[in-house]
Structure 1
Amino acid sequence: MEKKILVAVDGSVYSSNSLDYLIRLFRENQDFKVDLLAAVSSSDYEQNWMAEVDSQRTESTVVQQRKARAGKYLKDARSRLIRNGFPEKNITSCVHASSKGISNAIHNFAKENMYDALLVGRRGVGRVGEMLLGSVSADMVRRCHEIPLWIIDGNVSSTRFLLAVHTCTHSLMAADHLAFILKDNPKTEIYIYHSLAAFGSTPPNEAEKFHSRWGAKWCEQHLDIETCLYKAHRQILIENGISEDRIVQLPPRRGIHPSHDLLRQAKRHQCGTLVIGRRDRVDKGLLGGVSDRTTKNAQNMAVWLVG
């Protein structure tokens, strides 16, 4: 099944790190589609002044220059992917100008086009200053809940994934997303881990809350709330095409805060990507705080936020 990923590009080294991450993991996947997006601001004093004296001129020289630079960034990014094995037919690119802010433009573009994931390089700053993926990544963590968000920090070389498991529906959805992305990628391994946080833990979802998505029969057979849904997460991975020999179950451990513990376990087991299912925006419970803190503190690691 085709996977469609939107990648924010700004010409920075951090944007290049994101491309390298894709190359390392997915260049051999023929069904992996990559859309490169360079978002630029269309707001400019010169543009507003020109509109008053000449209604036919809709873009200022400054905005045109921004779009031209963005086009060069996209061309370079596309060439980089093709040189490293991505089929040319699987790559598209687009410059998108918006007056509503870079992060808002990227977020809306991703929602409108129904991508399977949105990838953003962390701390990226474009050479001319108007494309700021550093602030964009932080903003995306707050606003992007409809689409899985992949935040890449630094150089990520490992093909191991740490799946943070918890007794909630969004955690199982994260397992489902991970399996969908990785099922045709035999070089990857998935480590399943539950953090026994000393502070801030929340009660598990009741079994009935899982029925609407997975059905009462499946839940009765596989839902193991008493053991943090280790069995349920493993079952979802296997049912979606992940072979059992690619799944490693780590024993739960206790830490002061789950975000610190998850990052520590990821480094301990040499996992380059940490996958977290998070609750809705209005919920400030365990996983909401975990996703925020984990993303802020991750170094040379990718964090996938699902939910």
Structure 2
Amino acid sequence: MNRHLLLTTDGSPYTHKATSYLATVFSGRQDVEITVLSVAKAPPSYLLRPIPGLSEIEREERLEKFQAEELKKAQHHVSEAVEQLKRKGFDEKKLHTKVSVQYGDVANTILHEAREGHFDAVVAGRRGLGRLSSAWLGSVTQKMVEYGRNVPVWVIDGEGWNKRFLVAVDLGEPGMKVLDHVIFMLAPDPEVEVEILYVLTTLFPREKEQALEDIQKILTKEEEKEAAEFFAEAQKMFAAENFKGKVRVKIKSSPLGVAASILKEAREENFATVVVGRRGRGGFKGLLLGSVSSKVLFNLNDRAIWVVG
């Protein structure tokens, strides 16, 4: 089964980072298709109604000119991104293009295309994801992350990519959704390395690391029944899909908090990609933008971040 990604582009340098990231993560993969999407800007409202001192014919001419120019720009952005992907080794037959006209919010336009096209993830640059709240709240990427329920959104920044993935999980359904997405996207690649990180907040820091098939034994000894059941099910999921890469589990008890533990682990262990859930429970209680996931997005600005759920 092919994996189909929707790569958004506005012609910014972040698109080049996204194409470089995809080329590294999916190098040699023949089961990955990419549709490059650019959204043509909607005409300003004043061109959609009669303008004093301007004939209806002149208004329509201005409207048509604006629409034609914006469509041309969007098509150029798409063609440019496709050429970048081809230069990085992607098969032209696996690359597709789409230009949409903005209707309402740009983020909603992209999410609509993602849902209608049944894409496995939306790939976007970090443009606008800064520390200033105004930049954060005004970002198309942020809006997709926040409102794209059940649409995985990959936020790309940084450089020096690798195939090491830090997958931060909560117990229960949110964590299972995260693992399901990771397994589906990465299962055929024997070069990937996945660390599943589960963080417990406590006053006493400690850490345990084991192979996935052994982690349940340790958890059972510690009477972590729910966690033991979760990782037992996770092992079945990886085995069912014949996951070819390396998988390990790390359980950390830390007074630093969940987000800080994720950031520390990503930097110290050189994970180029961090995967988090959009919502959570249990050890990630209240995981929602504005909490753990937003802290990761704000502070980890030199990595790729997958937001799932």
Is TM more than 0.5 here? yes
Deviation at 1:122, TM superposition (A): 0.5
Q: How does 1:79-94 map to 2 (within 5 A)?
A: 79-94=83-98
Q: How does 1:29-108 map to 2 (within 5 A)?
A: 29-45=29-45, 47-49=47-49, 53-54=56-57, 59-108=63-112
Instruction: Tell me, yes or no, if structure 1 residue 302 matches structure 2 residue 304.
Output: yes
SS at match of 1:252: strand
Retained in 2: the 8 A contact 1:160–1:272?
yes
Match of 1:239 in 2: 240
Retained in 1: the 8 A contact 2:121–2:152?
yes
Deviation at 1:67, TM superposition (A): 1.7
TM-score, normalising length from structure 1?
0.80
Q: Name which of structure 1's ranges 46-55 and 6-15 shifts more when overlaid on structure 2.
A: 46-55
Q: How does 1:138-287 map to 2 (within 5 A)?
A: 138-155=142-159, 157-198=161-202, 224-227=225-228, 229-243=230-244, 246-279=246-279, 285-287=285-287
The one-letter code of the counterpart of 1:145 is R
Q: How does 1:16-31 map to 2 (within 5 A)?
A: 16-31=16-31
Instruction: Give the Cα separation in 2 of the matches to 1:271 and 1:3.
Output: 22
Deviation at 1:21, TM superposition (A): 0.7
Q: Name which of structure 1's ranges 7-16 and 60-69 shifts more when overlaid on structure 2.
A: 60-69
Deviation at 1:156, TM superposition (A): 5.0
Deviation at 1:37, TM superposition (A): 0.4
Match of 2:10 in 1: 10
Deviation at 1:17, TM superposition (A): 0.6
- List runs of 5+ in structure 1 lacking aligned partners: 126-131, 200-222
SS at match of 2:170: coil
Instruction: Give the Cα separation in 2 of the matches to 1:164 and 1:228.
Output: 17
Deviation at 1:63, TM superposition (A): 2.9
Q: Name which of structure 1's ranges 31-40 and 43-52 shifts more when overlaid on structure 2.
A: 43-52
Instruction: Give the Cα separation in 1 of the matches to 2:107 and 2:28.
Output: 30
Instruction: Give the Cα separation in 2 of the matches to 1:133 and 1:266.
Output: 25
Retained in 1: the 8 A contact 2:202–2:253?
no
Retained in 1: the 8 A contact 2:165–2:272?
yes
SS at match of 1:85: coil
Alignment CA distance shift 1:287-1:112 (3 Å): same
Deviation at 1:124, TM superposition (A): 5.9
Deviation at 1:254, TM superposition (A): 1.0
TM-score, normalising length from structure 2?
0.80
Alignment CA distance shift 1:254-1:43 (3 Å): same
Deviation at 1:121, TM superposition (A): 0.7
SS at match of 2:150: coil
Alignment CA distance shift 1:182-1:254 (3 Å): same
Instruction: Give the Cα separation in 1 of the matches to 2:160 and 2:225.
Output: 33
Instruction: Give the Cα separation in 1 of the matches to 2:249 and 2:78.
Output: 40
Encode CA deviations 1:200-251: one digit per residue, 9 max, x unaligned: xxxxxxxxxxxxxxxxxxxxxxx951448333323322322213x6112223
Deviation at 1:154, TM superposition (A): 2.4
The one-letter code of the counterpart of 1:149 is V
Encode CA deviations 1:243-276: one digit per residue, 9 max, x unaligned: 3x61122232314221121111111111111112
Deviation at 1:278, TM superposition (A): 3.1
SS at match of 1:174: helix
Of all paired residues, the percent bearing the same amino acid is 26
SS at match of 2:265: helix
Q: Name which of structure 1's ranges 54-63 and 293-302 shifts more when overlaid on structure 2.
A: 54-63
Instruction: Give the Cα separation in 2 of the matches to 1:166 and 1:101.
Output: 31
Retained in 1: the 8 A contact 2:43–2:63?
no
- Count how many residue pairs are aligned between Structure 1 and Structure 2: 274
**Alignment RMSD (CA, Å):** 2.8
Instruction: Give the Cα separation in 2 of the matches to 1:229 and 1:58.
Output: 60
The one-letter code of the counterpart of 2:17 is N
SS at match of 1:299: coil
Instruction: Give the Cα separation in 2 of the matches to 1:104 and 1:181.
Output: 24
Alignment CA distance shift 1:248-1:226 (3 Å): closer
Q: Which structure: larger Rg? A: 2
Match of 1:292 in 2: 294
SS at match of 1:118: strand
Retained in 2: the 8 A contact 1:176–1:240?
no
Instruction: Give the Cα separation in 2 of the matches to 1:30 and 1:76.
Output: 22
The one-letter code of the counterpart of 2:164 is R
